[in-house]
Amino acid sequence: MPDWAGKSVVITGASGGLGQALVAEFYRAGAQVVAVSRSIPPETFKGVDYRSADLTDEASVRDLFGSLTAPWAVINTVGGFAPYRPFSEFDVAEFEQQQALNLKSAVLLTKYALQAMEPVGAGRIIHTASRAATHPAGAGFAYSVSKVGVLHLVQMVAAEYAQTDIRIHAVNPAIIYTPANRAAMPDADHSAWAQPSDLARAYLFLATANCPAKSGTILPV
């Protein structure tokens, strides 16, 4: 079991189904968890530092990192979902919203995480992409293309920091069993979906100091 004692881990989207599971798992592993969401969730863990921030707003992200010591890991689960619609019904507002929720938030988090990690010379950044980015059949264009951008971000930053111990990865899940996803797809076979607590093991693996995965790893789960 990796030693998480003394390691600060920032987890965004902490009020969502996946984010809550990650907060729980990293906290139980012994990490110093900073849980970030737009609003503080009603159920919290004693000993977890809960913060409120709008991750689509640069000033908010800058202020967040300015108030923290350099984290060992930044784990991003922020995002939105939009289902398939015919291209003849393309919705510009939906497209822009998905870009902001999924890609802009990831870019801003990466920018300020890197600024915090550079003086230390080490750290881990892990974003949450989607299987829709690599297998788009049946997926919504606005959603899937924003997640493609997340994968591109990961690969470009990995190349830029290849000579350092600052590594960036993405977990690429299929559909996750969360309340939001169940509400969005009520007629789907929910029993086939991955549980957030199971997915947490992928994030714990990639965030460890001695993880063998090269920077830029896209881990499908």
Is 3 part of any domain? Answer: no
Is 150 part of any domain? Answer: yes
Phi first, then psi, for residue 151 (nearest 5°) are -65, -40
pTM comes to 0.93
Cα–Cα distance for residue pair 180/93, rounded to 1 Å: 20
- What CATH number corresponds to the domain at position 126? 3.40.50.720
- Total number of domains in the chain: 1
pLDDT at residue 141, rounded to an integer: 97
Per-residue pLDDT of the chain (221 residues; tens, 9 = 90+): 468 989 999 999 999 889 999 999 999 999 999 999 999 888 888 999 999 999 999 999 999 999 999 999 999 999 999 999 999 999 999 999 999 999 999 999 999 999 999 999 999 999 999 999 999 999 999 999 999 999 999 999 999 999 999 999 999 998 777 777 777 778 777 777 777 778 889 999 999 999 999 999 999 98
Is 2 part of any domain? Answer: no
Angle at 118 between CA 108 and CA 77, to 5 degrees: 35
Is 123 part of any domain? Answer: yes
pLDDT at residue 207, rounded to an integer: 97
pLDDT at residue 198, rounded to an integer: 82
pLDDT at residue 1, rounded to an integer: 47
pLDDT at residue 2, rounded to an integer: 62
Cα–Cα distance for residue pair 22/13, rounded to 1 Å: 10
Residue 126 and residue 74 in contact, taking contact as beta carbons nearer than 8 Å: yes
Cα–Cα distance for residue pair 172/213, rounded to 1 Å: 15
Give the tokens for residue 157.
């930053």
Question: Which structural domain, as residue segments, surrounds residue 90?
Answer: 8-220
Determine how many CB atoms are found less than 10 A away from the CB of residue 11.
30
pLDDT at residue 65, rounded to an integer: 98
Which residues, in sequence order, are bridge partners of residue 204?
A: none
